[in-house]
Amino acid sequence: MTELTFSPGLEGIIAGETAISTIEGDLLYRGYSVEDLARQASFEETAFLLLYGELPTAGELAALRGRWCDDAERVPHEVLEALRLLPTTAPMMDVMRTTASLLGHWDRTAETDPRLANRRRAERLLAQMPVVLAAAFRLRRGWEIVPPRGDLGHAANILWMLHGTEPPANWAEVFDDSLIMYAEHEFNASTFTTRVVASTLSDLYSAIVAGIGALKGPLHGGANERVLEILQAIGSADRAEAWARAALARKEKVMGFGHRVYKDGDPRAKYLKPLCAELAAGAGPEELERIAEIIERVLWDEKRIPPNLDWPTARLYHAMNLPVELYTPLFVVSRIAGWSAHVCEQLENNRLIRPRSRYIGPSARPLVGR
């Protein structure tokens, strides 16, 4: 047999081609830097860009907003009722996984062109998953479900459905930025998972459900929840340095730091960092910001490890009074854009993804005496 390349964790392996995003140097979505998109575009426009390849014209954006409003209002009542049957202790990521799958049973996509059909399915998931998330979150607290509002942008609408009050404009803007930053990231573990599922010619819902499962782990999307738990457990700035040094001495991975690809810093974390201080100012979590600053310094001084996107995002969500259990699910409601774009791209030039393994088990042996 010819010698095949083996790289644990597929590190350094090019596993496919994509025109959706690159992380070489800066992070670009279809050629645009995420910083420019965050400054000048909305999450809706970014999702359109990822799904259709170009930013929408004014007419296309208005049509997209109309479709998303209709979709958000039409979450099947069976799905909302099913939420009441789930254990209130179920992790929210499990609720997301289950409801993404359930929504597939009520797929009413009428498009006959399969490429358009999957993009419409993706749009519907992008519009409906936040409604489901907010409903699940409120129901388990015994609160009334807050229906979506057609007059609010996507980010403001999510905060409205969760809190039941209209968010301050700066919260909606920063939240929109965080959704843009979470929307897409090349061949990360969950996106690769969705492409593997799509490559078998399975359906979009199956791919998204598998992606949610992969994102749940603390080495991937789950890190944003661990970040806040750590900051809250440390509690005060005078304990932060000792905590960070002890964690490094124990060779523990500090959640929200490090990245398989960005070794000099995650551009998304750099963009969001100043917004953390802005949002925290006068709003209560300044102590958390002081703790974060010290941990960041120790990790850089001791090991040259910079923070990743989850480090600022967890603090931003906390400053917006969002409870920890929502952080990874909010990553999902954004990343559906990137996952779906990858499913569409995979299907447009498909080859079954089927790598090989290196066998390290026993050599061939006879089965005797049974």
CA distance 217 to 87: 21
Rule CB under 6 A: is residue 260 a binding residue for ligand COA?
yes
Nearer to ligand COA, 134 or 212 (CB): 212
- Pick from 71, 123, 184, 310: which binds ligand COA (CB under 6 A)? 310
- Pick from 223, 240, 272, 341: which binds ligand COA (CB under 6 A)? 223
Determine the interface stretch with ligand COA among 115-123, 248-256, 268-276, 349-357 (rule: CB under 6 A): 248-256
Closest CA to 207 of 220, 216, 197, 221: 197
- Pick from 75, 133, 135, 254: which binds ligand COA (CB under 6 A)? 254
What is the smallest separation between the CB atom of 218 and ligand COA, expressed in angstroms? 6
Closest CA to 238 of 299, 172, 295: 295
Determine the interface stretch with ligand COA among 149-157, 192-200, 228-236, 302-310 (rule: CB under 6 A): 302-310
Rg (alpha carbons) of the chain, rounded to whole number: 21
Annotated active-site residue in 176, 185, 310, 318: 310
Nearer to ligand COA, 28 or 204 (CB): 28
Determine the interface stretch with ligand COA among 21-29, 169-177, 304-312, 356-364 (rule: CB under 6 A): 304-312
- Those residues with Cβ within 8 angstroms of residue 35's Cβ, 6 or more apart along the chain or in another chain: 26, 267, 271
What is the smallest separation between the CB atom of 297 and ligand COA, expressed in angstroms? 14
- Pick from 253, 270, 273, 290: which binds ligand COA (CB under 6 A)? 253
Nearer to ligand COA, 62 or 219 (CB): 219
Query: What secondary structure letter does DSSP report for 33?
Result: E
CA distance 329 to 100: 11
Rule CB under 6 A: is residue 256 a binding residue for ligand COA?
yes
Instruction: Respond yes or no: is residue 310 known to be catalytic.
Output: yes
Closest CA to 254 of 297, 318, 290, 211: 297
Could you tell me if residue 317 is left (phi over 0), alpha (psi between -120 and 50 degrees) or otherwise beta?
alpha
What is the smallest separation between the CB atom of 43 and ligand COA, expressed in angstroms? 19
Rule CB under 6 A: is residue 258 a binding residue for ligand COA?
yes
Tell me the two tokens of residue 65. 């907003």
Residue bearing tokens 């569409």:
344
Tell me the two tokens of residue 205. 């819902």
- Pick from 19, 219, 233, 246: which binds ligand COA (CB under 6 A)? 219
Q: How many residues bind ligand COA (CB under 6 A)?
A: 15
CA distance 4 to 356: 8
What is the smallest separation between the CB atom of 251 and ligand COA, expressed in angstroms? 6
- Pick from 255, 314, 332, 336: which binds ligand COA (CB under 6 A)? 255
Closest CA to 321 of 171, 143, 138, 96: 171
Q: For the chain, what's the residue count?
A: 370
What is the smallest separation between the CB atom of 365 and ligand COA, expressed in angstroms? 35
CA distance 137 to 129: 12
- Pick from 67, 163, 259, 270: which binds ligand COA (CB under 6 A)? 259
What is the smallest separation between the CB atom of 307 and ligand COA, expressed in angstroms? 8
Q: How far is CA 45 from CA 10, 31, 193, 326, in A?
A: 33, 14, 25, 24
Instruction: Respond yes or no: is residue 26 known to be catalytic.
Output: no
Quick one: CA torsion of 63, 44, 213, 78, rounded to 10 degrees?
Answer: -40
Annotated active-site residue in 163, 203, 220, 259: 259
- Those residues with Cβ within 8 angstroms of residue 117's Cβ, 6 or more apart along the chain or in another chain: 109, 111
Rule CB under 6 A: is residue 308 a binding residue for ligand COA?
yes
Nearer to ligand COA, 120 or 226 (CB): 226
Residues catalogued as catalytic:
259, 310
Where does this chain bind ligand COA (CB under 6 A)? Answer: 219, 223, 253-260, 303, 305, 308-310
